[in-house]
A and B are shown apart, each in its own frame.
Chain A
Amino acid sequence: MLLLKLIQSLIKTLHSEGTPGQVAAGLALGAILGLTPLLNLHNAVVFALIVVLNVSFPAAMMGWALFVPVGFLLDPAFDWIGRALLLETPALRPLWTALYNAPVVPLTSFNNTIVLGSLVFASALWLPLFFASRWGVVRYRATVAERLKRSALYRTVAASKLYNLYRLFRPEP
């Protein structure tokens, strides 16, 4: 069922009315959810951005789903990045000390090596991912999309009830 939803989401995202930029922005924001540990305050902000900004919500969900395993795989690298920033860069220590002793900021768990490492990595990846996925969506729509629209699988998926749910969050023109 989960796999079906994912395929449905993928197809409908790529064929949605959203512009390639909206799809790419959604995917890149969703990647942040997938790359960083989910239950953190910064992800509430990212989720709010996905909902409020006019980006593709299914693309964001797809980005999240795609990047969760990547996050697990890259945890050692995130730990290394976080450790280097938090403990091995004396120039940044005043910044961390100020943030650690500021209200609310410590609730983000920025001082955890995995959280900080993954957030920095995801932030650095955001623009490249945005441009790469926007180019990919454009190329896809120009080449594969029309043929796929005529396929039986697409018609089956598009006819399902989930499509109606998707329409609630589809990007506005």
Chain B
Amino acid sequence: MPVAVFRWKAVVPLLVLGTATLGLWLLFAEPIARRAAESVGTTLVGAEVEIERVHLDLPHGRVEIRGLTVASPFEALQNLLQADLLVADIDPLPLLEKKLVIDRLTATGLKFGTPRRTDGRTGGRSDGVIGQVTRWGEQLHVPALALPTGKISIDRLDPGQLDTPRAAAALAARADSARQAWDSQLKGLDVAATADSARQMVERLRGAKATDVKLLGDARRTLGQLKQAQDRVTALERAARSGIAALQAGAAALADAKQRDYATARGLLKLPGLDAPDIGAALFGSAAVDRFQRALYWVELGRRYMPPGLLPRETPGPKRARRAGATVRFPREHDDPAFLLRTAELSLELAAGAASPRTYAASVRGVTSDPALYGRPATASAAAPGFRLGALLDHVRPTPRDTAAASLAGVALPSVSLPSLPIRLEPGVGTMALSFSVQGDQVRARWTVQSERVRWTRDSSGTAAPSPIGDLVWRAVSGIPALEVSASLTGSLTRPELGVSSNLDRAIAERLRAMAGAAVAAAERRMRAQVDSLVDGPVNAVRDQVAALGGDVTKQLGAQRAQLEEARRALEQRLPGLRLP
């Protein structure tokens, strides 16, 4: 009996089930969309994204999001932003391709930096982009301001660390070996034998006939031997003079080695940082690095989720009980990007915590997951009295170019505790500006803070204990009414250079120099004396050795030369016709 292929009686229950599923989906579409938006947003930002309610009006292509809260990926108990209402006009057709194209988004009631009750950060400090940026920030050297005691301590000077005794010992060994070599060469010359032979010839010539041709030939040979001996002495003298000059240069170089040893010894002095740039970096370096890290975080996120080019892009798959895997996007020219926000009009509320928060308008354009498809850079801008913002993320070309600049006047600046000192700076209301530009791997950034009326307070609640240096710094800064901080970042992202300066630097440095100058000089004198005691003995000994060697060699060679000269003169007197040229 043939078996039927279809189970027709199940078609109706299947249709009922399908209809019921569709009905349930429509019923729960808004919670599903809310959870999906929260999940995607949390993954993108690296911090909790919470939404109170989502209203979908798909027939009219409109989505409303109420009560959006985005936690800060940097601060534990702070929100990055909150929005009362977001209304998005979406293009429904791309939804069939799982793409989201928002023609226009309006956001009202945007507030920044509001407090929250729970830690909204999702990743550890070593994970993902935040970990990458944290590691990047760690390479920016922020010097510590080690001033709480102001004591100048001196580490033990190890003679093994000094160059001069080693150089002196080496020079002494060279002088010894030179002396041995020259002595051996002098002996090899055998000047005494040559001179004796010449004297004997003179004696023989005394009673000889002028016609004794053989004797005359012998005398001529003796005279030639004298000449050769003189030449050898001259050559040895030249070599000795050059060798002695080299040894004397070595002895003179010991003075340089001693200077280096003084520098080494000075390095053992633990002095408070007295250079103005160091003080600026120590006081405000961490705050500057924090600002630059935050800016770089958004740039890196932009580069991760808005990459240039049209190659397939791999992103982590959706969270589920099964392994997430990777989801790969395949952008194609002339098609819609996976995500596109054409325009957004934002109503911002800055200084939300202040008594009279101000409202500004800003606009964002061209934010897309595939800038090469959209063909235009993403931009953001806002301008209002006392507030300026401009940003451009150009990922259309192969080398991404990200620039942003913002300044805000009349903003309550956060208070700063001076590191290691019981002093707190309340900058009050001032102007803060940040510009950040990354082109490829090259970064150029600047962060400035200005305040005309700052207030200084002694911070007795902090961990820093009172100290003479603390009092000194307090006297230096407490009379300063204004604050000007400027931090810059240049170089490549892999090797950035941080520079920080402020008007407090010079004031503090001058006071510190005045107080610490005398103590530093005394400590340096002590260190020099210690170096002298370890170095002078060997140096003087080797200098004496070199001087003595020079004198001895010169004296011996002079004597040899005189002996030969005398013998030659005597021989030539006997034989005027044999005078040599």
Contact = CB atoms under 8 A, between A and B. Distances in A.
A96 interface: yes
B322 A75 contact: yes
Interface in B1-34: 1, 3-7, 10-11, 13-14, 17-18
Contacts of A75: 322-323, 325
Interface stretch (A45-53, A129-137, A140-148): A45-53
Interface residues of B, number: 32
Interface string A94-126: 001111111110110101111101000000000
A19 B82 CA distance: 62
A97 B310 CA distance: 11
B96 interface: yes
Interface in B237-268: none
A19 B4 CA distance: 11
B325 A54 contact: no
Contacts of A93: 312, 330
B193 interface: no
Interface centre among A39, A48, A114 (most CB of B within 10 A): A114
Interface of B (DSSP majority class): loop
Contacts of A71: 322
Interface centre among A51, A96, A99 (most CB of B within 10 A): A51
B204 interface: no
Given A106-B97, A107-B98, A54 B322 contact: no
A47 to B, nearest CB: 9
A110 B5 CA distance: 29
Interface stretch (A2-10, A79-87, A155-163): A79-87
Contacts, number: 104
Contacts of A79: 323, 325-326
A56 to B, nearest CB: 10
Contact of A51 (B1, B10, B97, B332): B10
Given A22-B3, A51-B7, A78-B325, A87 B312 contact: yes
Given A87-B312, A115-B325, A173 B317 contact: no
A172 B7 contact: yes
Nearest to B2: A173
Interface string B417-440: 000000000000000000000000
Contacts of A19: 3
B320 interface: yes
Given A86-B312, A97-B332, 18 more contacts: A37-B320, A48-B18, A51-B7, A51-B10, A51-B17, A52-B6, A53-B7, A75-B325, A86-B328, A87-B312, A100-B330, A101-B330, A109-B327, A112-B327, A114-B322, A115-B325, A171-B3, A171-B7
